[in-house]
A = this chain, B = another copy of it.
């Protein structure tokens, strides 16, 4: 097979210069209609496709977004990031962007990888997930003026409004509040909560949502909630305690793992019909038929790209300066309701 055609070849066929071909591709507006059509015909005829590396070398842009794939596959809820990754890739594609993966063992290693990808002009911007308190990656990226957006707000940090840190997050508090209110609206007054130990931003946030709803209904929260480390067996344990006192008629949980645990506990106590709501709407919740609060991951991806590329553009905006307006998006999750009653019940569940 012959060499792949280049701008030069297209130019020759269309009887114009290299640059005009380039213009047709990059700023069609400045080319006269007749000329543009001729060039486009030549491009089609030769099946020309721009050579990405050459363009990148010259423009110093890669049209690529880097994202790290988490090393630990925390089985049950890892699917959230995977779904997000999918949405991001799909939407990036429609903005002419690509997504490059990388892995890292720890934040320092990750910074090293980021540096390499940046210096090699492989990646224009980064999307960070699982941000932590005082995240060193955020500090490094800000410092070095590398464009980035985090999926996850800067927890417990005054930097929440630092314009240099653009972020997108899901309003877990509102989600849990909605879920709790949904149960209250069904006439259930004793709605319990199984959450995580305080200290994690997301966990505290979700817990607040439950408190919000209970308080708004002028009910008491005392004795109705517990905190445990995330996990199925932990959820079973915690739920069993809450249910033992017979003071709770429904449960809202900080995760699907806990919700599944709760479901097991309820079943073992004969309370097969106890309403339970989990968080993240993982495949497990779907399979078992547990209601769950679903993060709007496609919308998160849209928002991430909007912060990175602007509302319509298709190249990465420069890192933001300290004196600009803060920009972030807090998105509302939605409750996916399922008749999560008897596990042994014969129900039609999609795969």
A interface vs B, CB < 8 Å? 4, 49-54, 56-57, 62, 64, 69-71, 73-76, 78-79, 82-83, 85-86, 89-90, 93, 98-103, 115-116, 119-122, 230-233, 236, 240, 257, 260, 264-265, 267-268, 282-284, 286-288, 343-351
Contact = CB atoms under 8 A, between A and B. Distances in A.
A268 B350 CA distance: 19
Given A76-B286, A99-B100, A240-B346, 8 more contacts: A51-B119, A53-B56, A54-B57, A64-B100, A85-B101, A231-B351, A257-B287, A268-B345
A350 B236 CA distance: 12
A122 to B, nearest CB: 5
A257 B343 contact: no
Given A101-B99, A120-B51, A282-B283, A348 B233 contact: yes
Nearest to A59: B53
A71 B85 CA distance: 11
Contacts of A231: 349-351
Nearest to A66: B98
Given A57-B51, A101-B101, A116-B49, A82 B78 contact: yes
A346 to B, nearest CB: 6
A57 B347 CA distance: 57
A64 B89 CA distance: 16
B71 A268 contact: no
Contacts of A350: 231-233
A344 B119 CA distance: 54
Contacts of A236: 346
A27 to B, nearest CB: 20
Nearest to A4: B119
B232 A287 contact: yes
A197 B344 CA distance: 25
A264 B103 contact: no
A93 B98 contact: no
Nearest to A54: B57
Contact of A284 (B69, B122, B283, B345): B283
Contacts of A260: 287-288
A51 B286 CA distance: 46
Contacts of A343: 264, 267, 343
Residue among A82, A100, A287 with max Cβ neighbours from chain B (10 Å): A287
Contacts of A75: 79, 283, 286-287, 351
A56 B236 CA distance: 54
B98 A122 contact: yes
Contacts of A101: 85, 89, 98-101
Given A79-B78, A257-B287, A283-B283, A103 B98 contact: no
Most buried by B among A120, A260, A267: A120
Contacts of A82: 73, 78-79, 82
